């Protein structure tokens, strides 16, 4: 029997996670333990549940309890479900719930970088990328185009921030990821010590084309993407095995980092290499999840 609670008091402590607008506050909600993140929309919530993330509560437009989120209501079991009409939810959260449902979920510890690299042949490395939309879009491309794992420097925006999760369409729950201990450019040496050739994407004249057969032929490759504007650090580029660039037309010098990542993953990802490394999808989602996307 669903644990449905109709909202009568917007100041209730139980609703605090939905009133918080600071992602950092949510991240530290159970400090020193793992904090919270908010999954938004039925599609994203289904993927998070399929990936094994633990729901703490659900906030839902009451008309969706037996509507588009009925399966989610059933899946969360006895977790508290807080329901109200659209206007009440908008007052509580400060914005309109365009798809009628939010879920407060418990964060969990991310794998160590060395663990993520075991058995992987293609990984993406994000250096100091702060824009949440770009982080989410890169994860979506990584999931779609054969990237085994994503590694981030600690200056990157958190992939579980709400905008990143939403833009990724929940693929942040399907691609293994974690933060590296080493800052730039020291992490390049770590990747090389793990058996990876490193390919830095940068606007330089001493580059090779992204479709260079030497790069495509590497058995284990780390594709390094830099922050918006400044790009990769010079020391990162000089430490890498390759500096690669996407050929451009009409005098355009570069693409947005999210668009560039999609091109790079298409050209260099596992979809192009028939890698033997596979993500255990059964641990992340089941057929019913994808059927409802």
Give the domains, in start order, of the chain with CATH numbers. 3-106 (3.30.1330.30), 113-272 (3.40.1280.10)
pLDDT of residue 254: 76
Phi/psi for 137 (5° steps) reads -65, -35
- Residue 8 is encoded by which pair of tokens? 């009568």
For residue 289, is pLDDT > 50? Answer: no
Confidence at residue 272, expressed as pLDDT on a 0 to 100 scale: 52
Q: Which two tokens stand for residue 43?
A: 């599609």
Mean pLDDT of 196-212: 88
For 231, the 3-state DSSP assignment is strand
pLDDT band with cut points at 50, 70 and 90 for residue 205: low
Give the range among 138-142, 166-170, 180-184, 285-289 with minimum mean pLDDT. 285-289
Ranges 94-98, 159-163, 201-205, 235-239: which has the least confidence: 201-205
Residue 113 pLDDT grade (very low, low, confident, very high; cuts 50, 70, 90): very high
Strand arrangement, sheet containing 242-245: 177-179, 149-152, 122-127, 221-226, 197-201, 242-245, 208-209
**pLDDT per residue as tens digits for the range 19-54:** 998 999 999 998 888 899 999 999 999 999 999 999
Q: What are the backbone angles phi and psi of residue 218, rounded to the nearest 5°?
A: -65, 135
Report the distance separating Cα 68 and Cα 73, nearest Å. Answer: 10
pLDDT at position 248 = 81
99 versus 76: the higher-pLDDT residue is 76
Give me the pLDDT at residue 31, please: 87
Give yes or no for residue 196 having a pLDDT over 70: yes
Helix locations, 34-155, DSSP H: 42-50, 70-75, 86-93, 113-117, 132-144
Confidence of residue 161 (pLDDT cuts 50, 70, 90): very high
Calculate mean pLDDT across residues 117-130.
Answer: 96
Pair type for strands 197-201 and 101-106? unpaired
Which run of H or E residues covers position 190? helix 186-193
Residue 286 has pLDDT above 50, yes or no: no
**pTM, entire model:** 0.87
> Looking at the predicted structure, is the pLDDT value of residue 227 above 90?
no
More confident residue, 5 or 253: 5
Q: Look at residue 271 in the predicted model and tell me its pLDDT.
A: 61
- The pLDDT, as a whole number, for residue 269 is 86
Instruction: Determine the pLDDT at residue 98.
Output: 74
The average confidence (pLDDT) of the chain is: 89
pLDDT at 255: 87
DSSP string, 253-264: ----HHHHHHHH
If you search the block for the tokens 């020193």, which residue do you land on? 32
pLDDT above 60 (res 283): no
């Amino acid at each position: 029997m669903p644990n449905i609670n109709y909202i009568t008091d917007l100041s209730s402590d139980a609703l605090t996670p939905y009133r918080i607008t600071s992602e950092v506050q949510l991240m530290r909600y159970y400090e020193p333990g793992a904090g919270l993140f908010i999954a938004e929309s039925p599609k994203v919530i289904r993927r998070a549940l399929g990936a094994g993330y633990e729901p703490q509560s659900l906030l839902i437009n009451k008309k969706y309890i037996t509507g588009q989120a009925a399966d989610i209501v059933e899946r969360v079991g006895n977790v508290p479900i807080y329901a109200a009409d659209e206007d009440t939810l908008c007052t509580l959260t400060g914005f309109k719930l365009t798809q009628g449902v939010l879920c407060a979920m418990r964060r969990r510890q991310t794998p160590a970088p060395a663990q993520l690299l075991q058995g992987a042949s293609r990984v993406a490395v994000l250096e100091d990328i702060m824009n949440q939309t770009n982080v989410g879009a890169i994860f979506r491309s990584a999931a779609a185009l054969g990237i085994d794992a994503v590694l981030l420097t600690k200056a990157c925006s958190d992939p579980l921030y709400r905008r990143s999760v939403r833009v990724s369409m929940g693929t942040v729950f399907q691609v293994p990821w974690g933060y590296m201990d080493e800052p730039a450019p020291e992490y390049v040496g770590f990747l090389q010590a793990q058996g990876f050739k490193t390919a830095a994407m940068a606007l330089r004249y001493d580059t090779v084309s992204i479709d260079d057969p030497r790069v495509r032929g590497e058995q284990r490759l780390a594709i390094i993407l830099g922050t918006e504007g400044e790009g990769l650090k010079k020391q990162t580029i000089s430490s890498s095995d390759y500096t690669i660039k996407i050929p451009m037309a009409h005098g355009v010098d570069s693409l947005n980092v999210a668009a560039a990542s999609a091109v790079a993953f298409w050209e260099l990802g596992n979809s192009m290499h028939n890698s033997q490394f596979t993500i255990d999808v059964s641990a992340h989602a089941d057929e019913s999840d994808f059927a409802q996307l």
